Structure 1
Amino acid sequence: MLGEFEYLLISASSRLGDEAYGATIRIAIEEATGSACSVGALYTTLDRLEQKGLIETSMSEPTAQRGGRAKRLVRVTAKGAREASQFYRAVVRSSRGVAWEALPPGAR
């Protein structure tokens, strides 16, 4: 089963489509979670997901906007989409009947 961060990365990559690369994925994750996403964690996870066959990466042509640097483009594979879908369904099933409203201090 995917981990939470792996799921977030695959979801962001899928949503971004042709614009999915390190910087845009990082921004999407930070906007979705409200938390900082470290570059190291992002690229380590990209490597792991690629080794598992859940994503494929390729290098773009260098761009002037990036000072002549290429982008590491990300594409979610069919296997990655299936695993993300399974993770999502598991979270939904396990969350049924749970109210995640803030409880007053000391209440349980």
Structure 2
Amino acid sequence: MRKPGYLGELEQMVLLAVLQLNDQAYGTSVLRELEQRVQRAVSRGALFVTLDRLEEKGMLTSRLGDPTPRRGGRPKRYLIVTPAGVAALRRSRTAWLKLWDGLDSVFE
């Protein structure tokens, strides 16, 4: 089995936003969450490419909600972080904390 790689910055942010949104995570809500929490504007195209890549890596899955007239009869694609996604975030967090360790004086 291949050793899991590190997540990119946007991949981490997207997975964390999906976790924050819990059962209300879908494309537009993730974009809003990123803008509100970290003041990061992400294009819809970049977000959906990232979502597809995370799904291919097995770190994210999705389910379709019910179609609504407001959406022209189309369903929302709700996003769910998989256990593999949580594990990848845990590895990334551990790596970042190790790199930050001992640097408090630099940022005071």
For the pair 1:54 / 2:87, whether they are aligned, the reply is no
Please state how far the C-alpha of 1:20 moved relative to its aligned partner. Answer: 0.6
Task: Find runs of 4+ consecutive structure 1 residues off by over 2 angstroms.
Answer: 63-69, 97-101
Larger Rg: 1 or 2?
A: 1
By how many angstroms is 1:15 displaced?
Answer: 1.4
Aligned mates of 1:25, 1:12 — CA distance in 2: 6
Which residue of the partner structure matches residue 73 of structure 2? 68
Aligned to 2:11: 6
Question: C-alpha displacement at 1:69, in angstroms?
Answer: 2.8
Range that drifts further, 62-71 or 43-52: 62-71
Deviation at residue 33 of structure 1 after TM alignment: 2.0
| 1:53 counterpart SS class | coil
Q: Give the structure 2 partner of residue 77 of structure 1.
A: 82
Q: Which of the residues 90, 100, 105 maps onto 2:107?
A: 100
Q: TM-score, normalised by structure 2?
A: 0.85
Unaligned runs of 5+ in 1: 102-108
1:36-58 Cα distance to aligned partner (Å, 9 max, x none):
11100100000000000000012
Q: What is the distance in 2 between the residues matched to 1:100 and 1:49?
A: 33
Counterpart secondary structure, 1:59: strand
- How many residues of Structure 1 are paired with residues of Structure 2 in the alignment? 101
Identity of aligned residues (%): 38
- Give the gaps of 5 or more residues in structure 2: 1-5
Offset, 1:95 = 1.1
The separation in 2 between residues aligned to 1:62 and 1:46, in whole angstroms, is 21
What RMSD over aligned residues (CA atoms) do the two structures have, in Å? 1.4
Question: Is the partner of 1:75 in helix, strand or coil?
Answer: strand
